[in-house]
A and B are shown apart, each in its own frame.
Chain A
Amino acid sequence: MTPRAGAHPDEILTAAYLDGGLAPAARDSVEAHLASCDPCRAGVTLLRSGGGPATEDADQVPSELLVKARTGAAHPLGLSSRALAAAAAILLLCAAGVAAWRLAPAGEPRESSVILRDPAEGSVVPPAPVSPGSAAVIPRVGIVFAWTSVPGADRYIITVLGVSGETIATLEAAAGQTSARWPSHLDPPPPGPLIWKVRAVSLDRTLAESHPVSLTVR
């Protein structure tokens, strides 16, 4: 679906533009609109400029604000200190946010949130590593990882670990891709044993994760 030059792109299309996920024809139609629409262009400029890491204290949601958001801002509050303490605890959980779900065990998509739910949820077959296979011995340079596709995934994240569990590299592949080459801007991995695994991600949540595969780089 591409917008006519005059129509504002919808929210999903705009988000796909921001994520760099559009094919050239769709991208051109969004850019044609942005060139002529001051408010849309100012909005995209602002969103692109303001990502930034969410690490500062100033970005913490004040607990009383979170309580209001939870209970509905329009409702009178009348909160007990206990409720506020609970809100503070929730705040801490929020801060952990993304990290928390990423630590969810492999193959266990979060059930909770339907808006973040993948269509195939409940019967997700994890991606299966194809190559390099278990116990393979491969050269350091030009490593290509391949796996089986997972319906509903919008990207795959490949993690390469050292034997003691440290992350050596993280690669990302778009939906539809089932292989990824070691990026040329990264140094090749050191010779020795390695572990790799692949995670299917949809709507910012892990759908399923493969079992880890060990290999040796020479």
Chain B
Amino acid sequence: MPPSEDNAAPATWEEFLDAYAGTIFRLSRLFTGSYDERMDLFLFVCERLQQDGMRRLRTFRYRPEAPCRFSTFLSVVVKNIAVDFIRSREHRFRPFRSVASLDAADQLLFDYCVRDGRTVEESRLLLERRHGIRLTPDEASRRATALEVSLSSSQRWRLLSRLALGRRPLSIDPVAEVALGSVPSSGEPREVPLPRREDDPERLLASREGDRVLQEALEDLGPRERLALALRYRDALPAKAAGQVMGLSAGEVQKLAAQGLHAVRDKLRRARITRADIDKSALPLAWRGTEVRR
């Protein structure tokens, strides 16, 4: 129940800032790439939080089934406001600093593939036709994978927040490769190929038995195993970082991911699905089976 206007009277914006300006400024660094941008975000967040008599902050209340600290709640709110900030500055998107040091082919791949969410194949053709740069499909895929894996958590979040704006989603899907045995699951699965969905994956999906089985196998996993797989293989996070997200140790998250992979492989084997039967482009769709738009 939100507080009534009556007991809202003593709360002032100044008092809130006294206590939490530092927290907001610290959080602002997570979502931005430069100090200037961080200062802009700080003001953007403050403006939003102050709106309508601090309406957004007043949605906080203690819920016994979901106990949380106010500061944690605030960090989630700041994150969500930062999504709006990123989108409001869509036209000002600048490539990440690290991109400037890449060679020309990688810079263009970054723009087409990572920034704009095009498929690797589409990007490869654009490189060839517009810029006269020829890459083999394997080379293009390898380079695109390396680019995505090199993104920091913050860069990845910014790209996703931007792409989620009615654009084609970023899709990294190494799980098919690992599940089908072309990548050893025992080793560090960071260098994984990066298949991308085609323009109409739903049609492909419907037409391929293998894709259906794979999607079902992923959906049949428990949520913990699915999340461990997504963090380890889709996001290419090291086990320690994946564990941090789930509140688990590196070993525990590794175990969950291994169980998940084992179950997926097992299902595919029992359905007599071989690697050639799976269209890799269906995998991102399988992952996004339950995704909804904001």
Contact = CB atoms under 8 A, between A and B. Distances in A.
A34 B69 CA distance: 21
A94 B57 contact: no
A68 B46 CA distance: 9
Contacts of B29: 50, 59
A62 interface: yes
A11 B157 contact: no
Contacts of B77: 11
Contacts of B83: 39, 43
Given A15-B76, A70-B17, A112-B10, A36 B290 contact: yes
A116 interface: yes
Interface residues of B, number: 87
A18 B75 contact: yes
Nearest to A69: B46
Interface residues of A, number: 78
B164 interface: yes
Interface stretch (B122-130, B237-245, B264-272): B237-245
A32 B223 CA distance: 5
Interface string B250-287: 00000000000000000000000000000000000001
Interface of A: 1, 5-8, 11-16, 18-23, 26, 28-29, 31-39, 41-50, 52, 54, 59-62, 65-66, 68-70, 72-74, 90, 93-95, 97-98, 101, 111-119, 152, 154-155, 174-175, 202-205
A68 B43 contact: yes
A203 B18 CA distance: 16
Contact of B30 (A11, A12, A19, A50): A50
A68 B61 CA distance: 28
Interface stretch (B136-144, B177-185, B192-200, B224-232): B224-232
Residue of B12, B58, B227 most packed against chain A (CB within 10 A) = B227
B8 A47 contact: no
Given A7-B292, A74-B47, A97-B22, A19 B241 contact: no
25 contacts: A11-B77, A18-B72, A18-B76, A19-B67, A26-B65, A31-B224, A35-B287, A36-B289, A36-B291, A37-B290, A41-B230, A42-B235, A45-B237, A46-B154, A47-B30, A48-B244, A59-B22, A59-B25, A59-B26, A90-B18, A98-B19, A114-B3, A115-B16, A154-B62, A203-B62
Contact of B65 (A1, A15, A154): A1
A88 B223 CA distance: 48
A1 B66 contact: yes
Contacts of B170: 38
B226 A203 contact: no
The 4 closest A-B pairs by CB, nearest first: A15-B68, A114-B11, A16-B66, A35-B226
Interface in B5-32: 7-23, 25-27, 29-31
A39 B60 contact: no
Contact of A114 (B8, B156, B290): B8
Given A68-B43, A113-B15, A114-B11, A47 B68 contact: no
